[in-house]
Amino acid sequence: MHELSLAQALIDEVLRLSAEHGAKKVLRVDVMIGAFSGVVQDSFRFCFETLASACESTVDTALMIETPPVSYLCIGCGHAFKADKDMRVVICPSCHGGELFPQGGDELLLVRIEME
Ligand SMILES: [Zn+2]
């Protein structure tokens, strides 16, 4: 399962960082998951929480998931722009061309971690 290995990698990173800082507890973890990453957020959250509950320092960790807006590059005119909220841009706002190339959106990033 894709989400399980990603959640495991995130937990490993979080535990490594908290050990590095001598933290006892991880309060909150913010991640950014791109719209094209193929990650099912509910499933990812479930895996994360299951793994986190097995560890003393992450048992109460709150997971915050953000989805950054996707950017497109128009093949026709080279105009780069951000997609609207529901990510359903199908034409270029500059030349009204329909050949668009998505940029980014496949990331899974650890943005912030709060610990004590
Ligand atoms: Zn264009």
How far, in Å, is the centroid of ligand 1 from the Cα of 70?
Answer: 16
pLDDT digits (tens, 9 = 90+) for 72-92: 999 999 999 888 766 566 789
> Helix-strand-coil percent breakdown of the chain, rounded to 5?
30, 30, 45
How far, in Å, is the centroid of ligand 1 from the Cα of 16?
Answer: 45
CATH 1.10.10.10 fits domain 2-68+105-115: no
How far, in Å, is the centroid of ligand 1 from the Cα of 90?
Answer: 11
Kindly report the number of other CB atoms within 10 A of residue 16's CB atom: 10
pTM, entire model: 0.79
**Residues contacting 59, CB < 8 A, separation 6+:** 52, 53
List residues bridging with 32 in a β-sheet. 66, 109
How far, in Å, is the centroid of ligand 1 from the Cα of 77?
Answer: 4
State how far the Cα of 6 lies from the Cα of 2, in Å rounded to an integer: 6
pLDDT digits (tens, 9 = 90+) for 11-20: 999 999 999 9
